[in-house]
Amino acid sequence: MKHDIYKLADQYRLTDSDQQLLQAVLEAVEQHAQYSVRVFAAQNYVSPAAVIRLSKKLGYTGYTDMIYRLGFLVRNEDQNKSHTSDINSFIGEIPPERIEAFLDGLTQNRQRTILVAGTGFCEPLRDFFVRKLLVMGYPTVGTNSYEVYETNSLNAGLMIVISKSGSTDTILKLVTDARRHNIEIAAFTGAERSPIAQNADLSFILLDDNILDDRNLTANYFYARVLILFEYLMEKSLDRSEAVAGEDPAD
């Protein structure tokens, strides 16, 4: 598994060769390989001194210290992943074909604009969706502007909408306009029979703990479920991309 070491590379000003070597170190740690610095260096066609320089650059006392501390970090990461099974257990109730359909929609619209809409308590989720999609390489715009949807001036191919009630008038109008322009619509909502869910091509129906609490005065984990589900979908999207990138063109 290739690790995202962008921040480490920036923080410690790692060169391209440093980054390649660090990826090799992390891979060895993941595989629980116990190589001496000489063996590890030989396997990666570098000198032992280069490996030790990298460890010093990262703030470790040497190769052994680097392997030990990175091993601790990797093990913690694995444990955290196993703990998420309790948090996202509700995802198991979502039909797999619905998840695949959403991922297909992302893939098909990688070169077109993706619009994300949400208002009120859903607006911070909208902003998070946009930032996440952007860093993953999807051209994404978060907007509730009528003009954008009425004319489809951004030539969008996919709209993602977040609405707990599924009936917010301002968002429903955007969905209606999007449908007129044959924009694919994916909705995250708490109401299966709502107008937004009914008008969407694909709907993720998540539990709304307090349907009658319009002002969100009491605890409601709907928003947390939306966020958890979206992170899960993004992880699956990344897995897909890595699988495609890893395919042998000759096959």
Q: Could you tell me where in the chain the CATH 3.40.50.10490 domains are found?
A: 89-246
Strands 156-163 and 140-142, by their bridges, are unpaired
Instruction: For domain 6-83, give the fold.
Output: Arc Repressor Mutant, subunit A (1.10.10)
Instruction: For domain 89-246, give the fold.
Output: Rossmann fold (3.40.50)
Q: Could you tell me where in the chain the CATH 1.10.10 domains are found?
A: 6-83
Show the tokens assigned to 179: 């449908």
- Given a contact cutoff of 8 angstroms between Cβ atoms, the answer to whether 156 and 180 are in contact is no
| Residue tagged 């921040």 (tokens) | 7
> Residue 86 has what pLDDT?
59
CA 173/CA 167 separation, integer angstroms: 10
How many C-beta neighbours within 10 Å does residue 168 have? 24
pTM for this prediction = 0.72
- Given a contact cutoff of 8 angstroms between Cβ atoms, the answer to whether 163 and 118 are in contact is yes
> Residue 80 has what pLDDT?
55
> Residue 244 has what pLDDT?
75
> Residue 33 has what pLDDT?
84
- Averaged pLDDT in 10-residue chunks for the chain of 251 residues: 76 91 90 90 94 94 91 72 62 91 95 96 97 96 96 96 94 97 97 94 91 77 94 93 69 50
CA 141/CA 200 separation, integer angstroms: 19
What does the DSSP 8-state code read for residue 88? T
